[in-house]
Amino acid sequence: GAVVSQHPSRVICKSGTSVKIECRSLDFQATTMFWYRQFPKQSLMLMATSNEGSKATYEQGVEKDKFLINHASLTLSTLTVTSAHPEDSSFYICSAKTSGGSTDTQYFGPGTRLTVL
Amino acid sequence: AQTVTQSQPEMSVQEAETVTLSCTYDTSESDYYLFWYKQPPSRQMILVIRQEAYKQQNATENRFSVNFQKAAKSFSLKISDSQLGDAAMYFCAYRSSDFGNEKLTFGTGTRLTIIP
Per-residue pLDDT, averaged over B41-68, amounts to 93
Q: Does A30 touch chain B (CB under 8 A)?
A: no
Q: Does B94 touch chain A (CB under 8 A)?
A: no
Residue B86: pLDDT over 90: yes
Contacts of B116 (CB under 8 A, 6+ apart): B15, B84
- Residue A99 has what pLDDT? 65
**Who wins on pLDDT, A42 or B37?**
B37
Q: Is A116 exposed, middle or buried (0-12, 13-18, 19+ CB in 10 A)?
A: buried
Are A97 and B102 inside 8 Å of each other by CB? yes
Are A105 and B35 inside 8 Å of each other by CB? yes
- Residue A52 has what pLDDT? 82
Are A95 and B108 inside 8 Å of each other by CB? no
Q: Does A96 touch chain B (CB under 8 A)?
A: no
- Residue A100 has what pLDDT? 57
- Residue A40 has what pLDDT? 84
- Residue A16 has what pLDDT? 96
Q: For residue A32, what is the nearest residue in chain B, using CA coordinates?
A: B102
| Mean pLDDT for chain B overall | 94
**Who wins on pLDDT, B6 or A52?**
B6
- Residue A28 has what pLDDT? 86
Residues in B closer than 8 angstroms to A46, CB to CB, are 103-105
Per-residue pLDDT, averaged over B46-54, amounts to 93
On whether the CB atoms of residues A84 and A18 are closer than 8 A, the answer is yes
* pLDDT beneath 50: ranges in chain A: none
- Residue B74 has what pLDDT? 97
* SS3 state of residue A88: helix
Q: Does B108 touch chain A (CB under 8 A)?
A: yes
